[in-house]
Amino acid sequence: MGWSEVANGRKIRFPSEVGLAQGAEGSGVEELQRYLSRFGYIKPDDPGEYASILGAAPLPEVTLGTFDDDTVRALRRYQRFHNLPRTGELDEATVAQMSMPRCGFPDVQDAAGVSSFVAQGNRWTTTDLRYGFQNFTPDLSQAEVRGAVTTAFRLWSEVTPLTFREVSVGENPEIVVRFVAGDHGDGFPFDGVGGTLAHAFYPPPYTLPGDAHFDEAETWAVTLPIPADRFDLVMITAHEFGHSLGLNHSSVAGAMMRPSFSSGSTQRFLHQDDISGIQSIYGARRGGWESLGGILTSAPDVSSWAANRLDVFARGTDNALWHRWWDGSAWRGWESLGGILTSNPGVVSWGNNRIDVFARGLDSALWHRWWDGSAWRGWESLGGGLSSGPDVSSWSANRLDVFARGLDNALWHKWWDGNAWRGWESLGGILTSDPSAVSWSSGRIDVFARGLDNALWHKWFQGGWSHWESLGGILSSGPDASSWSPGRLDVFARGTDNAMWHKWFQGGWSGWESLGGILTSDPSAASWGNNRIDAFARGLDNALWHKWWDGSAWRP
């Protein structure tokens, strides 16, 4: 239930005397026995808060200071739980495992001494959980801390009916997040750098139910790669929230709920064992994507020209452009807008009731059609030789910037300056997908594409074009990007598992998170309001599927 090496206010000493075996005696044996007692393998003198979670298996009683039969049995159970050779001796591998930072609450075992996920037994009676910050760490900006916590909660909300939303501490949220040092009044004092990392409390009736505390003496990080001397706040927070929701530890290697993690490491996904565990308590998430029908022969693209307005475009079975829209109360369409498309469409809105759509035609040139507020106009040819679908962004009224891969596989750019079309210009790179472009302020454009290494690559304009930078990942589609506020970017792509993956920038780039689904196209995303994102893709049935972030959780 927390990262701790403290018992009764004293720092736990890690066993270090390699080679201890049955028959040995002395302080080294006593140190080993106290460690095994502390973490649920030998019956403790006073289990205290742990009594209710130590009853899963009978615990041996030992002669303190003597490496007796019961100590051998306890050590082998520890080794089995941690996937180590069951030597029954304190070998190098076991000492290395015991020296890792770990959760301070016991490892719950079944009668055989091994456990996959373990549901602790308590659960929240509501699925709409609130959380609040009592304070923040100076290691990171408040936005970075909030982003880490949001990411951690999303891992659990993606696979359960649970939702999480931030409120003020004064509203008495179910989960309070604190960064504290030393003795902070909950009976589990932190012990400085390199010891206790964090701890959390189970759902009611436990003391401080759900709350998660992080040791301010540690140095926290969120930007990948995590430095070797720091701890990934996303990973540790996700683990702690597993306890906040009612899970104990797992013996499965790679599970988020395994007891031990090392500095510099990161994991930002749930193992199937974690998913099975949390769903055993709260059930599986209902839905996850909604179908909007249709039969698509391309990826969709989406724009928004007003709050709660969405316009989605895709190629149909007749290779024409088709349109479906959300008018604020219901989905309308499909309607055919004609043309013969040989690519995914690209769409943007630069003003109220204005939409511009682009696609590659039969001649591999760029073609353009637009809605002027009263009728559809075009198609018009804008020339060029495209080897991908186009994408388009707008950073002010009557400004359009169109991007596509050229015949040389580089990024090419054409723009409307309010009076005439300019370009084409080459922006270099070697693209293996359609590009994606978004603008979050005047004179700012961010472009993304998949590179030769299948990673996400990024180039931006702000007074001049930047270099290309790699943002990692392994993409099996082109990306798409949206922005819901200045300095905020959300990028989506299909991963090697065909699910949709998400990465975002807000003061720094996050890791990748999975949003599930089975995609058969590039995804598309748009934002029509603060902290609102709508994402679309073609599914296995070739229909249009939709998922959205409502400010607190991914829906439906």
Whole-number Cα distances in Å, 322 to 171, 298, 318, 330: 47, 11, 10, 18
Question: What does DSSP assign to residue 224?
Answer: S
240 in catalytic set:
yes
Residue type (1 letter), 68: D
Segment holding 275, helix H or strand E: helix 272-282
Q: 471 and 503 in contact (C-beta within 8 Å)?
A: yes
CB 119 within 8 A of CB 246: yes
Tokens found for residue 488: 């905020």
Are residues 8 and 2 in contact, defined by beta-carbon separation less than 8 angstroms?
A: no
Query: Rounded to an integer, what distance in angstroms lies between the CA atom of residue 285 and that of residue 161?
Result: 4
**Distance (Å, rounded) from C-alpha 448 to C-alpha 439?**
12
Q: How far apart are CA 36 and CA 456, in angstroms?
A: 46
From 31, 174, 216, 240, the catalytic residue: 240
Residue 258 structure tokens: 């395994």
Q: What single DSSP character describes residue 142?
A: H
- For tokens 């000492």, name the residue: 95
β-sheet with 489-494: strand ranges across? 480-482, 489-494, 500-505, 513-514
Contact by Cβ (8 Å): 484, 490: yes
Handedness of CA 445, 451, 453, 456 (dihedral sign): positive
Q: Could you give the residue numbers annotated as active site?
A: 240
